[in-house]
Amino acid sequence: MQMSFRWYGEKNDSIPLRHIRQIPGVTNIVSALYLIPVGETWPYEDILALKNTIEAAGLTFKTVESVNVHEDIKLGLPTRDRYIENYRATLKNLARAGVEVVCYNFMPVFDWVRTDLAKVLPDGSTALFYEEDKIRGLKPEILVEQMEHGANGFKLPGWEKERLAHIKKLFALYKEVDEEKLFANLKYFLEGIIPTAEACGVKMAIHPDDPPWQVFGLPRIVTSRANLQRIVGLVDSPANGLALCSGALGADLDNDIPAMIRHFGAMGRLHFGHVRNIIIDRPGVFHETAHKDDAGALSMFEVMKAYHDIGFTGPIRPDHGRMIWGEEGMPGYGLYDRALGAVYLHGLWDAIEKTSGGKQA
C-alpha cells in the first residue's frame, strides 16, 4: 500500500507540497494536468514538469486522477474517435513519465454532485452534503451556479466551466442515451484504450459514480457490484480495473465495500483505493464525516483490513475531508482533515499488519 494524497497543482491548490511531505507515511502524490482541456492530449513535457515538481518535494508521482473522458465519447458521437486517439497518446506520454495508475470516470455531464459544499456539523466543522429532495426541485444550471459559488474561488475537479456552459445542449443529447447505450459507449472506449494501456504498462481505474444513482434523470452505470463486474468484463484485461471509492459507493448501503475490495482484489482488478466515511441520514441524504471507524456508516477498519488481506500494493488515499480548524480551501480538499485521515488509515494498516503475523505488502 502506498499512502497517497491528492494535489491540484501549484496554480489551483492552497496546500504546498512541502506540507504534504510532512504528513507521516504519505509518499505518493495523486495529481493531473488540470489546465489541459478535456479531450486534448497531455504533452509529455508538461507531465514531466509536474513529476519533477513533485519529486523535488521528496514525493513520488505514479498515480493520475483524472484523465477525464470527453463528453462525445460518453455520448457515442462520431467525433469520439479523435478523442480516443488523443486519450491513447496521453496514456503513452504518462507511461513514459513513469505513471502506473490512471483514474477516470464515466459520469454523464456532471462529475460528483452535492447540494451543499459546507454543511455545518455539530462540532463546528463543515462537510460536503447531498440531499436528493433538493436535487429534484433544482434546475441543472442552478446546481452548476451553486457548485461554482460554493467552491471558495477554486476550480472544482470535474466541473469545467467550458463544458458546463452547454448544459442544455448536453441534456438534449443525453435523451438518446440510456444505461445500455452508456455501457455500449464505455465498451467502445475501453476497446479503444485498454490495448494501449496494457502495452505501455498503465492500469486504468474507473471511479464509481458519486452518488451511485441517477441524478437529473441522466444514466449512471458505475454504481453497484453487479455493474462493476460487468465493466471489468467489457474488455478482459488486467489493465481494465477499478478505483474503489468507499464514500461514493457507500452512499448506497446495498454496496458492501469490504466484500467488493476482496472480490475485485482477488480478480487483480483493483488498482486504486479512495477511503472515506459518510453519515447516511436516510436513503438519498448523506454527508461526509471524519475517517474514524465509528464516525459514520462505514467501518474504516474493515475497509483497510480488506485491502491488507488482499495484499494490496497500489495507491490508497484519504478521500474528501471536512473543513476544520478554520482552514479555508477547496471544499473536500483541505489539508488538516485529510492529513488526519491519512495518518488514521495508516495507523489502522500498521496495527493490522503487526497483529496479522505475516508481512503483507
Catalytic residue positions, numbered: 207, 245, 274, 319-320, 333
Does residue 245 interact with Mn ion by CB under 5 A?
yes
Decide whether 71 or 288 has the Cβ nearer to Mn ion.
288
| 30 sits near Mn ion (criterion: CB under 5 A) | no
Give the number of C-alpha atoms closer than 13 A to the C-alpha of residue 240, restricted to the C-beta side: 20
Smallest distance from Mn ion to CB 5, Å: 13
Q: Which window, 66-74, 77-85, 318-326, 352-360, contacts Mn ion (CB under 5 A)?
A: 318-326
CB of 78 to Mn ion, least distance (A): 32
Q: Which is nearer to Mn ion, 192 or 332 (CB)?
A: 332
Q: Does 65 bind Mn ion (CB under 5 A)?
A: no
Find the residue with minimal CB distance to Mn ion: 245
The radius of gyration of the chain from alpha carbons, rounded to an integer in Å, stands at: 19
Question: Could you say which of 114, 163, 203, 274 contacts Mn ion (CB under 5 A)?
Answer: 274
> Backbone dihedral region of 158: left (phi > 0), alpha (psi from -120 to 50 degrees) or beta?
left
- Write the CB contacts of 82 (distance below 8 Å, at least 6 apart in sequence): none
Site residue total, Mn ion (CB under 5 A) = 3
The stretch near Mn ion (CB under 5 A) out of 101-109, 194-202, 243-251, 279-287 is 243-251
**Does residue 203 touch Mn ion according to CB under 5 A?**
no
Kindly state the smallest distance separating residue 208's Cβ from Mn ion, in Å. Answer: 7
Q: Which stretch binds Mn ion (CB under 5 A): 27-35, 272-280, 330-338, 352-360?
A: 272-280
Interface with Mn ion (CB under 5 A), residue from 319, 329, 337, 338: 319
Q: Which of residues 142-201 bind Mn ion (CB under 5 A)?
A: none
**Contact positions toward Mn ion, by CB under 5 A?**
245, 274, 319
